[in-house]
Amino acid sequence: MAVPTFVDRVRLFVSAGRGGNGVASVHREKFKPLGGPDGGNGGPGGSVILRVDADVTTLVEYHHSPRRTAEHGGHGAGAHRNGAHGGDLVLPVPDGTVVTRADGTPIADMVGPGAELVVAGGGAGGLGNAALASTKRKAPGFALLGEPGDELEVVLELKVVADIGLVGFPSAGKSSLIAAMSRARPKIADYPFTTLVPNLGMVTAGDTTFTVADVPGLIEGASEGRGLGHDFLRHVERCAALVHVVDTATFEPDRAPVEDLDIIENELARYGGLEDRPRLVALNKVDVPDGREIADMVLADLTARGLRVFPVSAASGEGLRELGFAMAEIVQAARTERESVVAERIVLRPQAVREEDFSVRATGAGWRVRGTKPERWVRQTDFSNDEAVGFLADRLDRLGVERKLLALGAVEGDAVLIGDPEDAVVFDFRPGMDAGGEILSRRGEDVRLTEDRPAARRRRAIDEAMPDRGENETRADVARRYDRGPTSYEIGSDADPDAAPADPAGPGGSER
């Protein structure tokens, strides 16, 4: 099987790097065993970037390797060390590459060397417990996970960027004209469909230098897939002008120059989008005696149509200078028109619209919650850590998810699904639970999962006894008196013994 050297359409599967996980760590040193959280953040994953490279002329590299993945971000570490950033994956593409989604939705038209497109963004890194610490949660015992990067299937389609496009039947001499007018050396032979890929050549006429490209394989029915024209008609879409190369010395008895031109024009019209391009006609092979006679016969008919006609010969060079200057004139006019257009400054002043951060709807499987924030928070949560689950519940509660569910009629025990239907996380709805985000708790422990918390009751009792403490008493004195039991209120204190009942857990508790 032959290995293709020119590929102008490929399907590419790109995967951006996943963000690194944050880490839960506590600073430790001699005589200071609990020095505070110092877990670093995870590094962001690398993105997949398409970049126009002038040295790349084909998409063959992605034909052989259609799957590309960027680097993942590094995980965080203790001592406030953040994870390394995942390296971006830069994919060079030819000038004129059109990027679309698999369903045909356009993404970008990449024209001009250096143009870049981030086709898949890297995932964000997870926060470490140092970044999650707050006045209410001084020592988080959990960290957030890194987010996955984008995964996307795109179609890359090359449309050659050329100023002049040569169109015509096979063996009309398009490649010979390019070889005679430029330094390009395409394959040339005396049989149809010699040219299997578009050829490009740089032509200079006076002070104007422009690019000429031929479109191979145009025959009747090309717009419907016959021949090779269906695959290569796209390459004339960017041309400023089209040149019909007409063979005046064909050996086929059922062909005539005017009929050839009409057939090609019909195919261009059926393809669409090329009606506004100026046309030139090159009657090629006039160096052949019969070719000269036929060219003289059809010259008047073509001129009567308003076409500029040039009898030329790629073999002898006759008429190529005049044709080149006519091409340059059209190209220069098109460039001047583009340069004279002043881009209008567009100022967008959108109206402020308050959209809900999430949506809730009832399904057969349960209550489905969709939204950027809830789904992102679920991806960041380590469900093996109870405290991390509590933190997620706090975030969802602050967002108003529980209130929305109650308003829609959800009851305790209902299934709540958050995320994409194919990969959703299922929760049991428990309304009215105390949020644990602002309550201090043991490392790795979610206070809402514990029914009996003596330390919490002890702290509340001490808080209630503080207004009635003695003049010189501190909170520590009140706490010690609470630990000794109710009899301690009879000695040296006027406080109400009922203000701070003894902890059923007995002495030895520690204030949280």
- Range of 475's domain? 454-499
Residue 498 has pLDDT above 60, yes or no: no
pLDDT at 492: 40
Q: How far apart are CA 104 and CA 50, in angstroms?
A: 18
Amino acid identity for residue 338 in this structure: R
Least confident interval from 124-133, 203-212, 338-347: 338-347
Looking at the fold, whether 182 and 77 belong to one and the same domain comes out as no
pLDDT at 449: 44
pLDDT at 468: 84
Asked whether the beta carbons of 458 and 503 are under 8 A apart, the reply is: yes
pLDDT in tens, 258-291: 888 888 888 888 877 778 889 999 998 888 888 8
Q: Does residue 334 fall inside a structural domain?
A: yes
pLDDT at 496: 46
Residue 397 has pLDDT above 80, yes or no: yes
pLDDT at 155: 94
Compute the CA torsion angle 286, 291, 294, 299 (nearest 10 deg).
-20
Binding-site residue positions: 168-175, 193-197, 214-217, 284-287, 313-315
Q: From residue 263, how far is each of 88, 259, 292 by CA, in Å?
A: 49, 6, 22
Looking at the fold, whether 230 and 259 belong to one and the same domain comes out as yes
**How many domains does the chain contain in total?**
4
Looking at the fold, whether 262 and 225 belong to one and the same domain comes out as yes
Q: Does residue 506 fall inside a structural domain?
A: no
Q: How far apart are CA 58 and CA 281, in angstroms?
A: 29
Of the candidates 306, 339, 372, which is a domain's last residue?
339
pLDDT at 509: 43
pLDDT at 123: 95
Q: What CATH number corresponds to the domain at position 112?
A: 2.70.210.12
Higher per-residue pLDDT: 43 or 203: 43
Higher per-residue pLDDT: 475 or 23: 23
Looking at the fold, whether 102 and 209 belong to one and the same domain comes out as no
Looking at the fold, whether 6 and 94 belong to one and the same domain comes out as yes
* Tokens read off for 61: 């590299």
Q: How far apart are CA 197 and CA 217, in angstroms?
A: 9
pLDDT at 230: 52
Q: Does residue 344 fall inside a structural domain?
A: no
Looking at the fold, whether 6 and 112 belong to one and the same domain comes out as yes
* pTM, 2 dp: 0.66
Q: What CATH number corresponds to the domain at position 171?
A: 3.40.50.300
Of the candidates 304, 339, 374, which is a domain's last residue?
339
Binding-site residue positions for GTP: 168-175, 193-197, 214-217, 284-287, 313-315
Q: Does residue 124 fall inside a structural domain?
A: yes
Residue 128 has pLDDT above 90, yes or no: yes
Looking at the fold, whether 72 and 186 belong to one and the same domain comes out as no
pLDDT at 510: 41
Q: How far apart are CA 510 and CA 506, in angstroms?
A: 11
Arithmetic mean of pLDDT, 154-183: 84
Arithmetic mean of pLDDT, 463-489: 79
Residue 490 has pLDDT above 60, yes or no: no
pLDDT in tens, 293-313: 888 888 888 888 889 999 998
Binding-site residue positions for Mg(2+): 175, 195
pLDDT in tens, 311-321: 998 888 888 99
* Tokens read off for 129: 């417990």
180 contact partners, CB below 8 Å, separation of at least 6: 314, 315, 317, 320
Least confident interval from 9-23, 60-74, 498-512: 498-512
Looking at the fold, whether 283 and 368 belong to one and the same domain comes out as no
pLDDT in tens, 28-51: 888 777 778 999 999 999 999 999
- What does DSSP say about strands 415-418 and 425-428: parallel, antiparallel, or unpaired? antiparallel
Looking at the fold, whether 147 and 172 belong to one and the same domain comes out as no
pLDDT at 452: 53
